[in-house]
Structure 1
């Protein structure tokens, strides 16, 4: 899922992404500067957890295709959960 898709799914306007080599699941766990939520200005970082469908999910009927977003959650963070850098 790219930045634009994440913005659409989460109702956010995102700034830059913090990427680090310590994140072992960069497709599923993403850290972004949040600029707005539903049009209301924001100024914080969030760790987004993306649950994307795999072949088993498609086979069981939980998803129509691999990579489909099954669940999305996020939490405000001040430090990177992977490398510890202050954001």
Structure 2
């Protein structure tokens, strides 16, 4: 009985942690940008990150540190969008 409880608790704790490097990287990217821009754009940020992932020629292995490349590309795209917004507002 105690072993069953321990296993269930371990499973719950494990389920709360990111499952893969990809999920961990996505959470890190969105979390860091939310700190700068607020939580309203979280879905947009996820979409940007997933778009960059879809554009990769090869998906990194689940435990590869290469997942950081997706965040770097997404950050670049986000910076471009922010620059476009700033430019559009300055023209008004």
TM over 0.5: no
TM-score, with length taken from structure 1: 0.28
- Whose radius of gyration is greater, 1 or 2? 2
TM-score, with length taken from structure 2: 0.27
Structure with higher strand content: 1
Bigger RCO of structures 1 and 2 (CA < 8 A, at least 6 apart): 2
